[in-house]
Every structure is written in structure tokens, then in C-alpha cells.
Amino acid sequence: MNVDMIENVAVELLRRAVIYLPEDVKKALQRAYENEDNAAAKTQLEAILRNIKLAEENEAPVCQDTGLINFYVSVGGKLWDLVEIEEALRRATRRATREVPLRPNAVDIFTEKNTGDNTGRLVPHINWEFTTGDVLEITAFPKGGGSENMCALRMASPGEGLSAVKRFVVDSVLEAGAKPCPPVILGVGIGGGSDIAMKLAKKALLRPLDQPNQNPEAAKLEEELLKAVNMTGIGPMGVGGRSTCLGVKVEYAHRHVASYPVAVAFQCWAARRASARIHPDGSVEYLTR
Amino acid sequence: MAEYRLKTPISEEDIRKLHVGDTIYISGTMVTARDSAHKRALEFFRRGEPLPVNLEGGVVYHCGPLAMKEDDKWRVVAAGPTTSARMEMFEADFIKAYGVRVVVGKGGMGQKTTDAMKEYGAVYAAFTGGAAVLAAQAIKRVVGVEWLDLGVPEALWIFEVEDFGPLTVAIDAHGNNLLEDVRKKALERKARIYEMLGV
């Protein structure tokens, strides 16, 4: 295993993530712009589209809030040393902070000191997933604070069932208003325990906008919720309009007989993610621009 | 909805002309201030200590920029707005104390700020959240940075800007609050949305 290579790939992923938005997100924003007839909403979306283009041209981060750094790592077989991967990702985060650059965003709870390099206790956060095979897949997911602050969890009663999910998603969007930088993407996690519901909601944000859930019932719920939240008319940046939300992504787990956790994760329009696959022979395949 | 180009220092008369929904572009000086800077500035005011920068007729920007020091000179890489709601607890006193005419941010502000803006003649102008490179392009020069001990995002950054915008007037000096109106209308639609969902 070449640890330096993993570090280099992770730096590159952070760089790409904060500069280039994924194609599915760009397309959805373009469609939203074409679909608006509210003048203020159009002004906001036009600024967003211009900004995305300028970021690419200048190779500058699309938003100054380059987020709290998360990695999703899916690792197969026994070829990889997990502790070394974790250390490589921490080093990559430090380097990317200087080289890209990223805004330092990691603050100590008690001293209130910013570490200055985006690392700290449990930061960057690494979500591990183990698979068969021998491939290492890394996704860099820098998550901005404005949308993160709107994330919400409700422990509903099983008697309410999916109705509770629908009400809670609509209520959360109304509560959030303009704050999470709409048009947003919503991740909805249902079931598991409280922590699992939120983990699923966050993970749902990794799924491209043009990929509905494979379960037709979950896909139907996604579509229904998208229509519902766009009926609020909050619009881009809360100035009013049709495009409050670009997509709703549902993920679920089995629940305890007595519990019905529902989590809503907000993602701002600057939905940054970049992925790469590293093969055991050392070849690297970038899955996003 | 009209479009205006304003130059700092901005007069009360120019501010009173603006209405919610108008688009404005700003040239001149803009000063960033987030939570900690607002808090410290108000402490200075209480102690009668002067701020390191004059804000009379000025523009305050809720922003924590991403900036790089190159050969001893600061360069702003990205500088979009941060969520203004966090400054709601300070802004009315801040406007009153320092004679600020335009507050730039995102996400909207509350009733206390709206009242203060009506009384003292100021507007809240929404800049597109996340449009950080667009903002950086309008920043021609870093004139100075104060209170760096608060950290790079929280410091007072003094920018020289040219046609900074487009900014949407979201709170005017006549007591109107665009984002709050949109939110109220959204809340009124809640029953209909529930009905559509069958819940």
C-alpha cells in the first residue's frame, strides 16, 4: 500500500470538490434558472451560475466556507491498513488547507481556538464502509456550516408512520427558510437509531440528483417530498420562487418496534463532493471532475 | 424593481429611496464583521473606545473570507456571505452606534434589525449565499485587516470594492422585510401542502 499516493489523491479530491461542482448539480441549477419567472429568484440563480463558472475559470473554491471535512471511505479486503489511511487523510486535509486553499474551520469546544489546519478531535471525520473486493474508494465531502446548522432530527411515533416523515420534512424546510442557501438538496434518513437516521440522511446527499432511490416506494416518497417543499415558494436564497429544492434523497434502515427516527440533512446549492477509486495495482480512477 | 449603484459613504437620503426587491451594486469601502467582531465592536462602544475603522455611512458585510497572504499582501480568494441571523442579537445596536447604512449578508434578519433600519435609515441587502468568487472579483484591494486575533474568518477585513453585487434589498428603511414576507406566505401554504401529501 502506498500511503503517499493515498494522501496525494485525497488532496486532489479536496481540491476538486471545493472548486468544481458535480455535473448533476450544475444541470439541476441550470434547469432551476430556466424554470423561474420570479425576477429576484432569477437574479439569485444567475449569480449562482456565474459564480460556478468563475470558480472553474479561476480554479478558486466555489464558496468561501470550504466546510468541515468529511471523507466517505469504502474499503475492500485485507489489502489496506486502515490506520495508515486515516493518517493519510488527516495529512491530506492539512496540506489541502494550505495548498488549495481551504478556510480553516475546526474550532476547539473549550478553548474556542481554531486549529488553523482543518484537523482536530474527530476532524476530518471518516465514515468507513467495508466491502468485498480489493478497491479503495474515497469521497471527499466538505460540508458548509450554513446548511449544516439547519439539520434536524425527530423521534416520531410509529403510529404516525410515513405521515410523520412528510410533515417533518415540510416543517423543517419552512423553519429553515432562506438560511441553508436554497435551492437546497435534502437528505432524509428514516429508521435505525437517532444516530443512524442522521448518518443515512447525510449519506443520501452523496447520491447524484439524477439517481432516484432503487426502491420504487422510496423513490415515490422522494418525488412527493420534492414537489411538497417546492410548493413553499421560499425560492433561491429565500427571495421567493419555484426552486427551493433541487432534489430529495431518502435512505432508510429497519427501526426499533417502538421508534421512528426521522432525520433531515440540508445541503446548500454548493453541493460539493469528489470521488476516486484506488486499485491495488496503484492505478487511480477519478469518478468526478 | 429598480437598480441603483451606490458609492460609500452613503447618505440617508440615498438609502430612503430604496425599496425591497430593488437591486443594488456598491463601490467604495466594505468592512466584514461576524459574530465576534460585532460583539467586540459593541464592547468598544460601551467603553467609548474608537473602532479601528470608520463605519459612518458605511457598509458592513457578514462574511468570513478565504484569504491568502502572498509576499506580505493579502489576496481574497473567496468571500461569500455568512448567515446573518446570527448577528440579529447585535445589529440594531451596531447600526445605532456606528451609523452603518447598508448591511450585506444572507438568509435575512429579524424584527429588531428591521425596526432599527427604519429608525436610523439603513437597508439589509442580500447577496447570493455561496457566490464567493463573484464577490472576490468585485473586491479590488484589501485595504487592511484588524482584529486578526479573532481568527481569519472573524477579523475585520476592510475591502475596496467596485460594483459589488447584485444585491437584493431585502429589508428597506420603510419597515419592509422581503424574506420575512416570503416566509410568512410559505407558512400560509403549509395546510395546502399537507393536504397534497395527504397528512
Whether A101 is in a domain gets the answer yes
Model confidence pLDDT, tens digit, residues A135-162: 999 999 999 999 999 999 999 999 999 9
Identify whether B38 is a catalytic site residue: yes
Q: Structural domain of residue B21, as residue ranges?
A: 3-197
The answer to whether residues A264 and A169 touch, using CB atoms and an 8 Å cutoff, is: yes
Residues A152 and A135 in one domain: no
Torsion of CA A128, A131, A135, A137, to 10 degrees: -30
Q: Average pLDDT in the A209-236 region?
A: 98
Q: Which residues of A touch B159 (CB under 8 A)?
A: none
Which residue, B157, B37, B142, is CA-closest to B98? B37
Q: Does A205 touch chain B (CB under 8 A)?
A: no
Cis status of the peptide bond prior to B81, with omega within 30 of 0: no
Residue A173 shares a structural domain with residue A114: no
Q: Which domain holds residue A212?
A: 146-267
Q: Note whether A121 and A164 are same-domain residues.
A: no
Check whether residue A7 and residue A127 sit in a common domain. yes
Question: What's the average model confidence in pLDDT over B97-118?
Answer: 97
Domain with residue A108: its CATH number is 3.30.1330
CB contact under 8 A, B129 and A235: no
The answer on A126 and A10 residing in a single domain is yes
**Residue contact B182–A224, C-beta within 8 A:** no
Please check whether residue A240 lies inside any domain of the structure.
yes
What are A12's three cell numbers?
486532489
Q: pLDDT band for A76, please (50, 70, 90 cuts).
A: confident
A259 touching chain B per CB within 8 A? no
Query: Total domain count for chain B?
Result: 1
Residue B148 CB-density burial (10 A; 0-12 exposed, 13-18 middle, 19+ buried) = exposed
pLDDT in tens, A249-277: 999 999 999 999 999 999 999 999 999 99
For residue A27, being part of any structural domain is answered with no
CATH of the domain at B47: 3.20.130.10
Q: Give the pLDDT score at B66.
A: 87
CB contact under 8 A, B199 and A166: yes
CA dihedral B11, A46, A266, B90 (to 10 degrees): 0
Average pLDDT over residues A45-68: 95
Same domain, A139 and A150: no
The share of chain A scoring above pLDDT 90, in percent, equals: 90
Give the C-alpha separation, B136 to B151, whole Å: 19
The pLDDT mean for chain A works out to 95
Domain count, chain A: 2
DSSP strands (E only) in A55-208: 68-76, 125-131, 136-143, 152-156, 184-192
A152 and A140 within one domain: no
The predicted pLDDT at position A112 comes to: 86
Regarding whether A163 and A131 lie in a shared domain, the answer is no
Cross-strand pairs, B24: B4, B167
**Interchain pair A179, B82: CB under 8 A:** no
Residue of B nearest to A220 (CA): B197
In a domain, A85, yes or no: yes
Q: How far apart are CA A222 and CA A10, in angstroms?
A: 32
- Does a structural domain hold residue A46? no
SS (H, E, C) A71-91: EEEEEECCCCCHHHHHHHHHH
Q: Which of A96, A6, A54, A59 is nearest to A289 (CA)?
A: A59
A186 and A281 fall within a common domain: no
